[in-house]
Amino acid sequence: MTHLETGLSAFRARILHFISDPGDHDSPASFEYFDDGLLLVNNGLIAGIGPAAEMLPTLPPATTIVTHRDRLILPGFVDTHIHYAQTDVIASAGKQLLDWLEHYTFPVERKFAAAEHALEVAEFFCDELLRNGTTSALVYPTVHKASVEAFFSVCAKRNLRMVSGKVLMDRNCPGYLSDTAQSAYNDTSALIEKWDGQYRLNYAITPRFAITSTESQLDVIAQLAGEHPDMYIQSHLAEHLDEVALVRRLFPWSRSYLDVYDRYGLLRNRAVYAHCIHLDELDVRRMAASGAAAAFCPTSNLYLGSGLFNIDRADAARMPFAIATDVGGGTSFSMLRTLGEAYKVAQMCQQRLTPLRAFYLATLGGARILGLDDKIGNFMPGNEADFIVLDPYATPLTARRSRSTNNLSEWLCVLMTLGDDRAIAETYILGQASNPAH
């Protein structure tokens, strides 16, 4: 590590980051925690991390030192499944998945044909992510090419690391949201060419879910996946029992819902499937063997009445998973609130989600299932310096309750159970403070 280059800044605070999955026993080798730590950033990248007492004497005299006493620095949160176009759907009550899509979601998504509307929502959405400490996400726009252009251009301007791609859907939806097999191919190919790998952006092939694609569109999606073997794939899978029953009727040849995606070559590394609740043992093992991962969306699963994600079964089969808000089925942009609800889902299943593992899943765990752990998710030197500063004293209750904790794990439990956007004091992108005012 050299401290002599230009642009060196040091951030002094409590610091936590993960090296691997702590599992359910808080493996001590899985994380590093410094009570009084120093994070060194050089030209937007992590240059070092360690105890402040050891590192301060080694810094060049002109180094800028930003002190966040008693606050906690963490890698930025990674939300592995969220719909930017559903920002205005959040908190629409009273329906379960299929009715909710028809009555609330599709009419709101219709408006994204207009670039101006898409841009306005994309700006608000990115503000809201940053206010909540989320620095990267796997994002659904809508079926409209304009919605993808708007999202990527807003993220490019802000230098955010994001993954997204045009939603593909040509049946079981209103005509105004329907593309075709051919336009799915043409638009996706053009968007990949224009955006994939530009700025900090990557493209995801995005069939909405099996129900909304004809078999001829799925053929085209399989072709796209074959032409771009390293590309992200995102979709929804086994979220709600009514949805599973409809998939069975639409694809009578399939062994299971998962089998539909499998048949079209859509299970592989960097394929992320939201929900994965109503899978059987074979499915979970097939997910793990294929390299595909699950996005566990607790607030959405509770709000839409979909079911409870089975952490133990995922672990037993080694099916990778991370955490996601799934706004607008999900009810909060806050990954802290989402972790709090994930904990309760585990409780309802008589299972365990330790606070340390929860914070792992929201940072390095998310980066891993996106194959981005060599760039974001922890503070290994050379990684991109997207990080957040949590303020445990943001509210009287979190302050009071934080003071009565005895160790890191208890403190993290307070933050994820009581914390929300108010606890995010700062969000840094590539070492630059970028959070809009609360």
Between 83 and 117, whose beta carbon lies closer to Zn ion? 83
Among the listed ranges 116-124, 156-164, 222-230, 270-278, the one in contact with Zn ion (CB under 5 A) is: 270-278
Residues 373, 63: Cα–Cα separation, whole Å: 28
From the list Zn ion, ligand GUN, none, pick the one residue 105 interacts with, judged by a Cβ distance below 5 to 8 Å according to partner type: ligand GUN
**How many helices and strands in the chain, by DSSP H and E?**
17, 16
Query: Smallest distance from the beta carbon of 83 to ligand GUN, in angstroms?
Result: 6
The dihedral built from the CA positions of residue 345, 351, 354 and 358, taken in this order, carries a sign that is negative
338 binds, among Zn ion, ligand GUN, none (CB under 5 to 8 A by kind): none
Going by C-beta distance under 8 Å and a sequence separation of 6 or more, which residues neighbour residue 49? 15, 17, 32, 34, 37, 38, 39, 40, 379, 381
**Cβ atoms of 367 and 375 closer than 8 Å:** yes
Task: Give the one residue of 259, 283, 326, 384 binding Zn ion; rule: CB under 5 A.
Answer: 326
Question: Using CB under 5 A, which of the segments 12-20, 258-266, 310-318, 320-328 binds Zn ion?
Answer: 320-328
Please name which of 390, 310, 294, 408 lies closest in space to residue 11, comparing C-alpha atoms. Answer: 390
Q: Give least dist CB 295 to Zn ion, A.
A: 8
Other beta carbons within 10 Å of 438: 9
Peptide bond preceding 48 in cis form (omega within 30 of 0) = no
Instruction: Compose the 274-313 pattern: x for residues touching Zn ion by CB under 5 A, - for all others.
Output: x---------------------------------------
Stretch that binds Zn ion, among 57-65, 271-279, 362-370, 383-391 (CB under 5 A): 271-279
Q: At a CB cut-off of 8 Å and minimum separation 6, what does 371 contact?
A: 269, 270
Residue 383 interaction partner, one of ligand GUN, Zn ion, none, beta carbon < 5-8 Å per kind: none
Q: Which is nearer to ligand GUN, 326 or 341 (CB)?
A: 326
Considering the complex, state which of residue 236 and residue 286 has its C-beta at the smaller distance from ligand GUN. 236
What are the backbone angles phi and psi of residue 76, rounded to the nearest 5°? -60, 150
In the complex, which residues of this chain contact ligand GUN (CB under 6 A)? Answer: 83, 97, 101, 105, 208-209, 236, 239, 300, 326, 329
Q: Which residues bind Zn ion (CB under 5 A)?
A: 274, 326
